Structure 1
Amino acid sequence: MIRSILTTLFGSILLALSPALAATNTPDQDDATSESAEIRGPVTILISIDGFRPDYMDRGITPNLAALATAGVHAPMRPSFPTKTFPNHWTLVTGKTPDNHGIVGNTMEDTARPGEVFKMATKDPFWWDQAEPIWITAEKQGVRSATMFWPGSEVELDGKRPGDWWPFNEKLSNDRRVNAIIDWMRRPAQIRPKLITLYFDTVDSAGHYFGPAPSDRLDAAIKAVDQNIGDLKAQLDVLGQPVNFVIVSDHGMAETAPERIIYLDTIMPRDQYRLVEDGNYAGIESLTGDMDAIRAAFLKTHDNMQCWERSQIPEHFRYGQNARVPSIICLPETGWVVYQDVPEWMTGIGGGHGYDNRHPDMTAFFLASGPAIAAKGKMPIFDNVDVYSLVARLANIEPNASDGNLHPFEDALAK
């Protein structure tokens, strides 16, 4: 009874005070007022849409990307060989070719670590320390960085990591990835990142399962990522946060089919060599150290595939000088695949990448937009080693020596 009387009395007091409370800012409103009053400098956000082909923009389903492109620049971009996820993501943040940064494949070996195999979940710094990614350079120079996923961003190098980083989890939805960035940007200025990476994998996954041709499933993934980027920009606008966006993909996507399979067992019995990687290209090593039989089997004419010894890989690939490159590389024609055992999922039309980086289907995507970028429209194709120099300029970071430069973007940088 006493509790009931007190409850009623307390409710009456709150009711009486409600006009005054309504006229007073809540803590959240105070924060918003403080944020809107603050003059914020631009942040640089590097976004990867894994497997996004430039011609996906022609489907009329990416209004947010189209608006950013209209306000800035966009271009087809030539990826590095091999056109795989990890080598190209490491190129984008180091400015070096796979030969020079050491991540020469999604799977690889090193004679300095016999019996070990690098896989995409490998975090041992040994495999990553042939080049320094831009977030480590940023931290060394006092520019706070944050990585919402990026291959290699979980690795501690030279005793440093990004100021903020999340371990990769493909089950973390894209909207939660966006929300994490917004949370970072709500922080006080002294602990707010100035350089951010963001990674979306859903377009690549859809491309692998359904192929790159227009389809309900792939187009839904493209639309969803476009909306995620639109939501990110809208929330940053509410915060009054200017952004220089650099939006890229790591490679394109080519259509594959079960009738375009090269079977390695028809070239050499599998117990006579070691297969490092297969699929869209093959890496071959000797089991015994005797390469003569392997050369005789692989270094000859094949239907729909060429093979080279590491030292003889054509120069235009800029690949083969690093000791981690397999002794024999076999590259199928684009759209063909090479396997010992065909994956169970390969029962119909799908998609793949890893092919010749000059092939149109492997072409990657580039877009830059923001206060530091002039509206210059479509640029000519360029190599993805150049993106590093642009991101460093936008984030006020002194870049390390790289294989690229700022030249493709000189006309696009706002004066």
Structure 2
Amino acid sequence: MNRIAAALALGLASVLGGCAAYADAPVASMAVAQQREPVTILVSIDGFHPDYLERGLTPTLSQLASDGTRAAMRPSFPTKTFPNHWTLVTGLVPDHHGITANRMEDAARPDDPFTMATVDPYWWSEAKPVWVEAEEAGIRSAAMFWPGSAVAWGGTAVRYGPVTDGTMASDWQAFSMQVSNTQRVNSVLDWLRRPAEIRPEFVTLYFDTVDSAGHGAGPASEETDAALRDIDRHIASLVAGLETLGQPANLVIVSDHGMAATGSDRVIALADIVDPALYRLVEGGAYATFQPTEGNAAALEAALLRDHAHMECWRKDEIPARFQYGTHDRIPPYLCLPDTGWTISATAPGAQWSGGSHGYDPFAPEMASLFIAHGPAFRNGVTLDGFQNTAVAPLLRHLVGLPQAARSDGDLADVRGALAQQN
């Protein structure tokens, strides 16, 4: 095993040498590199469309993609942040892992909806993330802001106190937008500076700034371009820091979804379609979900399940099979999906606006997500055919040394072409 680790380290040192040239990093001594086994680092750049690599603004990411394996990955439906981040680390589609939306309701907890701040294990308990599997196998993990990583998985929430049981990564930080991208990268590198016995072997890292810029100003905006430049500099800092440490790394860099341009000229006003007394809107925007008010299911159906310009609606059990969505109890009875780039709103906009959104059809080109795999475990200069993001968790399990899950919607075979060792 030591000889294998040394060979992997030597291979990665030669690959990262190209990255160091534009990161202005000192070259680590080979003797140091040989003392460390590769760490697996899963990086999410929220809202990063794979076409962003073609703008000439991301030299580090583009080089990693060129020197490693890349693909335009298909997200799962709904193409939202929390459902897809949980898919990436469980291998299950949202309909099967239970995080079916960024905002959810559960009949067992009618007065306690799920939001993106919810860390009660109750909501997350239907699928085990890779870091929990790793910890249970004695593989130390660390999570920087990954959605769900602040949850004590399998634990029981106390109404006015912390969860006192459950499993988490050995090291983790609760999400805060006040923690800069520089601080996030530095925290990961600090974890990797530790002695081997308390150094993580699997790490996650999350960036939200590209998504925020895309929402606020649109995917083609100067603000998004600035966010891309900033993220690329921080990926360069991560790569340079790894080389300085002599730390071989298998980098799996992904996004949860892409981004579509939106605006006030593409709004579907529900007030023009259905009487607001007939329903309660659970979610709106890039799709909409509805609960009928008491006694009004038939009237709501009549209004929703007819032809609409730029929008199609279904009963939950009639959502097209390609979405792999509609069986979970947390999904409301009715769902409407607009054309990509359109917004469903309760009322017509009161002022002009433009920006970006996601949540649309996962097969829409605008919703495609990023996949880059770089390091000693991966082939160089390979572009894979598109695949669904359910394959990422099986890949992570393979890299970390975990058995494949008995229950999975993804398959390692979908990404085996990325691996240096094909058997």
Which TM-score applies when normalising by structure 2? 0.87
Residue pairs, 1:15-414, within 5 angstroms: 36=32, 39-158=35-154, 159-213=166-220, 215-288=221-294, 290-341=296-347, 347-400=352-405, 401-414=407-420
1:161-193 per-residue CA deviation (whole Å, 9 max, x = no partner) reads: 110000100121001000000110010101000
Return closer, same or farther for 1:114/1:37 CA change in 2, 3 Å cut-off. Answer: closer
Structure 1 segments unaligned to the other structure (5+ residues): 1-31
Are the aligned partners of 2:264 and 2:349 in contact in 1 as well (CA < 8 Å)? no
SS at match of 2:32: helix
1:255-282 per-residue CA deviation (whole Å, 9 max, x = no partner) reads: 0010110111112222321110001100
Are the aligned partners of 1:143 and 1:397 in contact in 2 as well (CA < 8 Å)? no
Work out the CA distance in 2 between the residues paired with 1:296 and 1:82.
Answer: 24
Work out the CA distance in 2 between the residues paired with 1:234 and 1:58.
Answer: 23
Are the aligned partners of 1:137 and 1:399 in contact in 2 as well (CA < 8 Å)? no
- Counterpart of 1:17 in structure 2 is none
Work out the CA distance in 1 between the residues paired with 2:271 and 2:222.
Answer: 37
1:368-398 per-residue CA deviation (whole Å, 9 max, x = no partner) reads: 0001001142111000000001111111122
Q: What is the letter of the counterpart of residue 131 of structure 1?
A: A
How far residue 342 of structure 1 moved from its aligned partner, in angstroms, is 6.4
C-alpha RMSD of the superposition = 1.7
Return closer, same or farther for 1:305/1:194 CA change in 2, 3 Å cut-off. Answer: same
Work out the CA distance in 1 between the residues paired with 2:409 and 2:235.
Answer: 29
Work out the CA distance in 2 between the residues paired with 1:410 and 1:203.
Answer: 29
Are the aligned partners of 2:65 and 2:381 in contact in 1 as well (CA < 8 Å)? no
Are the aligned partners of 2:142 and 2:203 in contact in 1 as well (CA < 8 Å)? yes
Work out the CA distance in 2 between the residues paired with 1:349 and 1:358.
Answer: 23
SS at match of 1:196: strand
Work out the CA distance in 1 between the residues paired with 2:348 and 2:272.
Answer: 14
SS at match of 1:91: helix
Return closer, same or farther for 1:289/1:226 CA change in 2, 3 Å cut-off. Answer: farther
How far residue 409 of structure 1 moved from its aligned partner, in angstroms, is 2.2
1:15-71 per-residue CA deviation (whole Å, 9 max, x = no partner) reads: xxxxxxxxxxxxxxxxx99x9376000000000000000100001111111111122
Are the aligned partners of 1:71 and 1:370 in contact in 2 as well (CA < 8 Å)? no
Structure number with greater Rg is 1
Q: What is the letter of the counterpart of residue 79 of structure 1?
A: P
Work out the CA distance in 2 between the residues paired with 1:293 and 1:150.
Answer: 41
Work out the CA distance in 2 between the residues paired with 1:142 and 1:205.
Answer: 36
1:134-182 per-residue CA deviation (whole Å, 9 max, x = no partner) reads: 1111100001010001111100012111100001001210010000001
How far residue 408 of structure 1 moved from its aligned partner, in angstroms, is 2.4
Work out the CA distance in 2 between the residues paired with 1:231 and 1:359.
Answer: 33
Alignment length (residue pairs): 382
